[in-house]
Amino acid sequence: MTTISTPVDNGVDIEFLRGAREQLAEEPEGAKFTWRVTNTWVRGTHSQTTARGFFGLGEEQDRPQAFHFDADHPEVFSADDNGATPTELLLAALASCLTAGVATVAQNRDIQLRSVSATLEGDMDVRGVLGADTDVRNGYSHIRVTYAIDADASAADIEALVAQSQKRSAVYDIVTNPTNVTVRVA
């Protein structure tokens, strides 16, 4: 009996990533990346952030295009709602990091994905940011991420896929663990 199987293709260049892992283990200087954005105040709570260049693989890297993100507060805070709230942007960062990880780990484990979607919810008591109660933290008390994944794999393998994505996610690490931030005025 002859079995013809279609190669798994989630659009992730896993051979390249396996090579990069080996190469950067030997040449750790190239692994030192600096991601960078600029932010410009527009008016009120509205600002725009731009991402384009970054440093990595030992040199400054440019891209064909810049990416722009508007952020603002919504009308319930008497603001102009010209963009998502910063706290929604944070959820977008977490979501996209975990989903990129799901696709990458699936490719690494020969699992064909058909669809991946996630809903993220973050609970926040706004008495914190308003300064109404200093015992209330400013940020999220809890973030819930719920994935719906259709793939050529068992439920257990899909669970393991998501668990491994968490384990290797930059943004999951930044959110769940303390990260050092220095703020200064030039």
98 scored as a contact of a copy of itself (CB under 8 A): yes
- φ and ψ of 182, to 5 deg: -110, 125
Q: Does 172 bind a copy of itself (CB under 8 A)?
A: yes
Which listed residue (5, 6, 78, 135) binds a copy of itself by CB under 8 A?
Answer: 78
Pattern 37-66, binding to a copy of itself, x per CB under 8 A?
xxxxx-xxxxx-x-x--x-xx---x-xxx-
Nearer to a copy of itself, 2 or 62 (CB): 62
State yes or no: residue 93 binds a copy of itself (CB under 8 A).
yes
Residue 121 sits at the vertex; the CA angle it makes with 115 and 125, to the nearest 5 degrees, is 170
Specify whether the CB–CB gap between 169 and 98 falls below 8 A.
yes
Least Cα distance to 10 among 152, 146, 168, 160 occurs for: 152
- When asked if residue 1 is in the footprint of a copy of itself (CB under 8 A), the reply is no
Using CB under 8 A, pick the residue from 32, 60, 110, 154 that binds a copy of itself.
32
**107 is written with which tokens?**
């490719």
Our CB check for a copy of itself shows the closer of 94 and 111 to be 94
Contact string (CB under 8 A) for a copy of itself, positions 127-146, x = contact: xxxxxxx--xxxxxxxxxxx
Residue 70 as a binder of a copy of itself (CB under 8 A): the answer is yes
Residues 172 and 94: beta-carbon distance below 8 Å: yes
Element of type H or E holding 13: none
Could you tell me the smallest distance in angstroms from the CB atom of residue 5 to a copy of itself? 20
Cβ atoms of 104 and 67 within 8 Å: the answer is no
Strand, helix or coil for residue 60: strand
Angle between helices 86-108 and 155-167 in degrees, nearest 10? 120
Smallest distance from the beta carbon of 14 to a copy of itself, in angstroms?
9
- Shortest distance, position 66 Cβ to a copy of itself, whole Å: 9
122 binds a copy of itself (CB under 8 A): yes
